[in-house]
Structure 1
Amino acid sequence: MPVAAADRPPQRLSRPRPAPARAARSRPRLYVLDGIRLGAALMVVLHHFAGTRRADEPGNMIWDRPVSDIMPTVFRVASFGWVGVEIFFVISGFVICMSCWGRTPRDFFVSRVIRLYPAYWFGVFFTTAVLVLVPGVMERLPLREVLFNLTMLQAGSDVPNVDPVYWTLWSELRFYLLFLVVVAMGLTYRRVVVFCCVWGAAAMLAPVSKFPLLVLAADPSAAWYFIAGLALYLMHRFGQDLLLWGILAMAWLMGQLELGERVAYEQVSSWRGAVVVFTVFMLVMVGVALGLTDRIRWRWLVTAGCLTYPLYLTHYVAGMVLINRLRDTMDPRLLLVVLIAGFLVLSRLVHRMVERPAARLLKRGLDSSFARLRSFQRVA
């Protein structure tokens, strides 16, 4: 039984203590996170359609000539859209920590399965169907590899992704597996801080260690973005302190280094511009963590957040195929608007007609399975 506050020793009362968990739970829903997630998804979509190196090559398979010639302003803006992936990772760290607090490993497992797989399965089949119905633009995978993609574990078995954008899911899955250890121990401020420090140290050592298993587990290219999200959530729940600011500063410093490597890969944007975009986002997230955006309670942002995942999963391959087929039928800017609007409508339909019903069925089935597992354990 917990000790009443009046019965605690005076010296414990005088110590600065983190805010109790119920103080964090009493805060309003963070609607602004839903809006940021959709904004990041739209950044990525615009980048893939009009801001990549491939889209700016003469005679590319997407447009009939370089995008920088067709719509130079759009290209300059879209060339930084890839930073939306790093934004996703930070938000994921924040949201996963928030949603797992006080939950069991079983709850964590079930929540991740019902959240990730229904829309993903639709995305795999949808992308494959588009490539079958509209051949000659992009090569599709053999059926055996398409079916293996349904596991979401293809990257771990060196099997190509049905859609190249699915590479981010491999980073997400590794984060979930690592964080599951902390969830199993029971989430506390101290344990999450230790997890951030240990994972950060492993991510720094992995590249120079030349130890493949450490590189695989530590995921140095994405780890610090997830760590930033975890630190921001601890700020949100328990209040700021120097230690959390230090973790966040380290995450920013390591993040800007990774941004430099991504710039070298993308070859369409500058390091300074990418760092500015990422820094502005981080400042916005600090405002979210400190409660400066709590008054934003627009209901439509919840709907916007629900579109993010289906939009990300379905837009890339199908969008490039459609641009290739429709680029001569209308103005390029109008085509971009029509395509993005179309994928948003599709995402809404996927959420309502695929994600919701499938999530209910999966949750019911998994809950029943775990209940059966417990009953057999008692019998044994």
Structure 2
Amino acid sequence: MTETVVSTSTTRPGTAALAPAPPAPAPEVRRAAPGRLRALDGLRLVAALMVAAYHYGGRGGFVTDAWGSSPKHQFPTLHTLFSYGCLGVQVFFVISGFVICMSGWGRSLTSFFASRVSRLMPAYWVAVVLVTAVFALPAVAYDAVSPSDALVNLTMLQQPLGADRVLGVCWTLWVEVRFYALFALCVVLPGANRRRVLLFCAGWLLAAVIAQAAHEPLLDLVLMPEYAPFFVGGIGLYLVHRDRRDVHGWGVTAVSFLIGQHYAVGELWNASDPNAFAHRTTVGIVLVVAFGFVAVAAIALGWLNWANWRWLTVAGALTYPFYLVHEHLGWVVIQGLHRGLHVPSAATFVLTVAAMLLLAWLLYRFVEKPLTPRLRSVLSRTH
């Protein structure tokens, strides 16, 4: 709350009033910076832990080599539950839609670009180098990518260029980059406002549905039909955060959920596959997708403002580096603990998560914290 000071002048009795003095300039009214949504930081970490549970105990493949047998045998009760953890990616995309709309509102294209690059790249570069170096060790059973492909991975464009990936999770970053590009060109460049954001949401959803029907690879690449509803749903929830009575924001969110759950079920329902690692049910998939939308909605409406603990900010800061390194390096830790030291499965799982969180803290403390603001400052300079 600001106070406006009104100054009055008086004239002495018996003297003529002079010409009125020019009005003093109105005091600058400063808007308080919006409080950090710490519950959103906590939700980020929950989504990352969901993905980690999937990579450690909810799928087959390379993680079987790490454990020495299928995670079905390591976690006979929990492996089916862990298999739903892959939907943490969809939860991330809803959060991303919310956060990118919030951070892009009122920003120039240069500022938006600097913010995104400085946020993504420092930890990513170090993670690529670290995983490449670890996989090149003779004691590690996993194959390292070629030097050429490792260098291409530093651009974050390895997927469209057809290079082998160093980080298994980097496919989601390629999805994020395309979302940033669409949002920057359609919203940030002309200037974000409610009408433009709504047109972007409606236009992207409709175009994505048309792309799905057209079966045109280029349209699929640009419009990402299977992921667009999650980003758009997050954007709709940011409009609700600005005004909970925004009927159009609620409408965008509802339609996005309905379309998004359809894609999630179509991609992940595998009851007809007798060789599936675990059989996810339609209801289970829909419930996890609903959890992502409802959780972000609760934050948008302020229902979780009570969750204002400072450690949640730390949790949010650790989420991205944890997400980058947890998969492949986690498998190396699992192999060392479980097969090398014969640590029980449950303890190995917990210790691996803890080790990856510690590594994430080191990346945040010694890479992101010093380099992100410097990189942002360099990229924000206009000539």
Alignment partner, residue 348 of structure 1: 361
Residues 1:95 and 2:99 are matched in the alignment = yes
Correspondence for 1:44 among 38, 41, 51: 51
Contact 2:239 2:246 in 1 (8 A): no
Which structure has greater helix proportion?
1
Specify the SS of the correspondent of 2:136.
Answer: helix
* C-alpha separation in 2, matches of 1:160 and 1:300: 37
* C-alpha separation in 1, matches of 2:223 and 2:247: 25
**C-alpha displacement at 1:201, in angstroms?**
0.9
**C-alpha displacement at 1:251, in angstroms?**
0.8
* C-alpha separation in 2, matches of 1:66 and 1:141: 25
Q: Which moved more, 1:114-123 or 1:208-217?
A: 208-217
Alignment partner, residue 32 of structure 1: 39
Alignment partner, residue 282 of structure 2: 271
Identity percentage of aligned residues: 40
* C-alpha separation in 2, matches of 1:134 and 1:42: 29
Q: Which moved more, 1:26-35 or 1:101-110?
A: 26-35
* C-alpha separation in 2, matches of 1:24 and 1:261: 46
Q: Which moved more, 1:209-218 or 1:69-78?
A: 69-78
| Counterpart amino acid of residue 50 in structure 1 | G
**C-alpha displacement at 1:26, in angstroms?**
5.8
Q: 1:267 to 1:69 in 2, by over 3 A?
A: closer
Correspondence for 1:192 among 197, 208, 213: 197
* C-alpha separation in 2, matches of 1:261 and 1:129: 37
- The number of aligned residues is 346
Q: How does 1:1-380 map to 2 (within 5 A)?
A: 27-54=34-61, 60-135=64-139, 137-181=141-185, 182-264=187-269, 268=278, 269-328=280-339, 329-367=342-380, 370-371=381-382, 373=383
Specify the SS of the correspondent of 1:327.
Answer: helix
Contact 2:134 2:140 in 1 (8 A): no
* C-alpha separation in 1, matches of 2:359 and 2:74: 27
Alignment partner, residue 17 of structure 2: none
* C-alpha separation in 1, matches of 2:206 and 2:90: 19
Contact 1:206 1:220 in 2 (8 A): yes
* C-alpha separation in 1, matches of 2:30 and 2:264: 36
* C-alpha separation in 1, matches of 2:139 and 2:149: 18
Q: Which moved more, 1:277-286 or 1:231-240?
A: 277-286
* C-alpha separation in 2, matches of 1:203 and 1:135: 46
Alignment partner, residue 19 of structure 1: none
| TM-score for the superposition, normalised by structure 1 | 0.86
Contact 2:158 2:164 in 1 (8 A): yes
Unmatched segments (≥5 aa) in structure 2: 1-28, 271-275
| Counterpart amino acid of residue 206 in structure 1 | A
Specify the SS of the correspondent of 2:307.
Answer: coil
Specify the SS of the correspondent of 1:72.
Answer: coil
Q: Which moved more, 1:23-32 or 1:45-54?
A: 23-32
Q: 1:75 to 1:55 in 2, by over 3 A?
A: farther
**C-alpha displacement at 1:27, in angstroms?**
4.7
Unmatched segments (≥5 aa) in structure 1: 1-21, 374-380
Specify the SS of the correspondent of 1:61.
Answer: helix
Contact 1:137 1:324 in 2 (8 A): no
Contact 1:196 1:227 in 2 (8 A): yes
Q: Deviations over 1:246-282 (max 9, x none)?
A: 2111111111111113314775222211211221232
| Counterpart amino acid of residue 346 in structure 2 | R
| Counterpart amino acid of residue 158 in structure 2 | Q
* C-alpha separation in 1, matches of 2:124 and 2:94: 21
Q: Deviations over 1:317-354 (max 9, x none)?
A: 11112323332321011011111001101101100100
* C-alpha separation in 2, matches of 1:342 and 1:84: 20
**C-alpha displacement at 1:158, in angstroms?**
1.8
* C-alpha separation in 2, matches of 1:26 and 1:85: 30
**C-alpha displacement at 1:120, in angstroms?**
0.3
* RMSD (Å) for aligned C-alpha atoms: 2.0
* C-alpha separation in 2, matches of 1:191 and 1:101: 11
Contact 1:49 1:55 in 2 (8 A): no
Contact 2:60 2:71 in 1 (8 A): no
Alignment partner, residue 4 of structure 2: none
* C-alpha separation in 1, matches of 2:37 and 2:31: 11
Q: Which moved more, 1:257-266 or 1:40-49?
A: 257-266
Q: Which moved more, 1:229-238 or 1:127-136?
A: 127-136
Larger-gyration structure (1/2): 2
Contact 2:136 2:143 in 1 (8 A): no
Alignment partner, residue 13 of structure 2: none
**C-alpha displacement at 1:151, in angstroms?**
0.4
